[in-house]
């Protein structure tokens, strides 16, 4: 009887030690997995996941405990689609689509279109009128489109956070009337910005910099507000605020 009790106590002690080792192993796996999920660099994430130890639980008869399967790692977002709400003030729609090509580097396509009476060049906005007299003046409405591209380098993290970039864009304001020429502008804009990406994919982006502009026909902008050099000016403030989703 005494021998049987001793054997039973030894078996219980071995089982308890094995259970403690198993729980310690699972705790280590959870810590490594948590560290991997906050690492935005894919290579670093893979290295951490490969260091996770294998934990094997001893099968116990009549056990009704079910453990959930480990969660599948979710890949970080590599694509963003966003809209610029400020464009709505000009009665246009502006869409940006950005794709990460390598860690810390992304390229974006920028497109904007609509019918507007406000001609935006650089940081200047002007409205054109037509009519034979002051009493007959009517606002001129343009068919506008803008296409361009951005190259963004993310300084601290991949595809989010602090960014340095450059945008090259072509802006066109056209009229159906054959007696009026269209306004064509090329803009080159270096900038710095910040991109925020939430856990659900919601995205916000702010970019601020400077623009150098080229207007095809300067005579079409002769009535604009002049700068101290007596012209529209070649250097302007660049700014962009957009909201969207990343996936």
Digit-coded pLDDT (tens) for 168-202: 999 999 986 666 778 999 999 999 999 999 989 99
Mean pLDDT of the chain: 82
Residue 217 backbone dihedrals phi, psi, to 5 degrees: -125, 100
Mean pLDDT across the stretch 24-37? 79
From the list 33, 244, 43, 81, the residue with the least C-alpha distance to 158 is 43
SS (H, E, C) the chain: CHHHHHHHHHHHHHHHHHHHHHHHHHHHHHHHHHHHHCCCCHHHHHHHHHCCCCCCCCCCCCCCCCCCCCCCCCCCCCEEEEECHHHHHHCEEEEEEEEEEECCEEEEEEEEEEEECEEEECCEEEECEECCCHHHCEECCEEEEEEEEEEEEECCECCEEEEEEEEEEEEEEECCCCCCCCEEEEEEEEEEEEEEECCCCEEEEEEEEEEEEEECCHHHHCCCCCCCCCCCCCEEEEEEEEEEEEC
Q: How confident is the model at residue 230 (pLDDT cuts 50, 70, 90)?
A: very low
Residue scoring higher pLDDT (21 or 65): 21
- Which pLDDT belongs to residue 241? 97
Is the pLDDT higher at 61 or at 235?
235
Residue 19 has a pLDDT of 54
At 32, which helix (H) or strand (E)? helix 2-37
* Identity of the highest mean pLDDT range in 14-23, 92-101, 218-227: 92-101
For residue 114, the model assigns a pLDDT of: 96
Q: What pLDDT score was predicted for residue 134?
A: 74
């Amino acid at each position: 009887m005494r021998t049987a009790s001793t054997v039973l106590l030894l078996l219980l002690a071995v089982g308890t030690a094995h259970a403690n080792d198993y729980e310690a192993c699972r705790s280590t796996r959870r810590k490594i997995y948590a560290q991997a999920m906050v690492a935005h660099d894919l290579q670093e994430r893979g290295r951490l996941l490969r260091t996770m130890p294998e934990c094997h639980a001893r099968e116990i008869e009549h056990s009704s405990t079910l453990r959930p399967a480990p969660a599948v790692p979710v890949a970080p977002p590599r694509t963003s689609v966003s809209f610029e709400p400020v464009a709505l003030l000009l009665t246009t729609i502006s869409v940006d689509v950005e794709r990460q090509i390598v860690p810390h580097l992304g390229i974006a396509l920028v497109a904007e279109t609509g019918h507007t009476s406000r001609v935006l060049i650089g940081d200047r906005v002007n409205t054109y009128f037509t009519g034979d007299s002051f009493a007959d003046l009517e606002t001129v409405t343009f068919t506008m489109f803008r296409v361009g591209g951005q190259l963004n380098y993310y300084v601290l993290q991949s595809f989010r956070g602090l960014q340095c970039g450059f945008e090259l864009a072509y802006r066109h304001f056209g009229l159906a009337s054959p007696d009026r020429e269209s306004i064509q502008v090329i803009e080159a804009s270096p900038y710095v910005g910040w991109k925020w990406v939430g856990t659900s994919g919601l995205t916000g982006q702010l970019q601020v910099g400077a623009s150098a502009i080229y207007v095809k026909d300067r005579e079409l902008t002769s009535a604009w507000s002049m700068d101290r050099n007596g012209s529209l000016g070649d250097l302007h403030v660049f700014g962009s605020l957009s909201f969207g989703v990343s996936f």
